Amino acid sequence: MKKILLILFFSVFLSAEEIMVLAAASLKYVLEDIKSEFLKERINNKIEISYIASGKAYNQIANGIPAHLFIAADTSYPKKLYDSKFTDETPINYAKGKLVLFGIDKNLKLDSLNILKDSKIKHIALPNPKLAPYGVAAYEALENANIAKIVESKIALGESIGQAMQYVKSGSSEVGFNALSMVIKDKDANYLIIDSKSYNPILQTMIITNYGKDSKLTKDFRDFILSKKAQEIFKSYGYDKP
């Protein structure tokens, strides 16, 4: 009996694994739910996720940070890692994101982007397009609405989508652009879903890095993200199927 217990102990110990994931800031809420669901039957495993702008995550991986998996908010940054030989596998599309304009003032009627021209809107929070894919989409939407130059002086850039959200939450910006997934379950948020025809599709991809290529837990988590169960969670946060 003692021998059997020792074998069981060592088999559990050896199966325990910890991985590090870099993920787009816009995934902060949905990915935590997916991770919790994944780890329900993997109590000995641990997944540490850092939520930062996709461009910043790319730079960290390129500079050698030991990340096993990169879950981005676009296609370009994972592709850059693939092209630069930081991974052997091609990026996999796991979801399609949606852009919103949001605020926390319930009296502010967000019915179109023209509200941004209103004098009561002094600051517009926007994720830095040099680092955040949703920032790129926001600029495209402004340009297609022919108001980019009109509201340019009002724009307050955040390093990530999370910082842009904080600008609005703190009251330093009346409104801001963000991912639907960040506000869809926020009772304080008042938001407008931006017409998807006004910006290029936000196709979100992920890749296992060279650092994580021999990790079973990394591969299992990647596969779970693509599973029906995880895709239902993505749907509940407003994402479309890949």
Which secondary structure element, helix H or strand E, spans residue 175, and what is its range?
strand 175-179
20 and 67 Cβ atoms separated by less than 8 Å = yes
Tokens standing for 101? 């304009």
pLDDT in tens, 50-103: 999 999 999 999 999 999 999 999 999 999 999 999 999 999 999 999 999 999
pLDDT at 217: 98
What's the pLDDT score for residue 14?
47
Whole-number Å distance between alpha carbons of 52 and 191? 23
Q: Which amino acid is at 230?
A: A
pTM over 0.85: yes
Segment 18-39 mean pLDDT: 97
| Residue the block writes with tokens 């996720």 | 49
Amino acid residing at 56:
K
Q: For 26-55, what is the mean pLDDT?
A: 96
Indicate the DSSP class of residue 174. S
Q: What is the pLDDT of residues 140-195, one digit of tens each?
A: 999 999 999 999 999 999 999 999 999 999 999 999 999 999 999 999 999 999 99
- The string of DSSP codes covering 32-44 is HHHHHHHHTT-TT
Instruction: Locate the DSSP E strands across 76-182.
Output: 92-97, 99-103, 124-127, 155-158, 175-179
Q: What is the pLDDT of residue 216?
A: 96
Ramachandran angles phi, psi of 173, nearest 5° = -130, 135
- pLDDT in the model for residue 242: 81
Q: For residue 11, is pLDDT > 50?
A: no
Give the contacts of 103 (CB within 8 A, at least 6 positions apart). Answer: 110, 168, 174, 175, 176, 189, 190, 191
Domains in the chain, CATH or no CATH each: 20-39+47-96+201-236 (3.40.190.10), 98-198 (3.40.190.10)
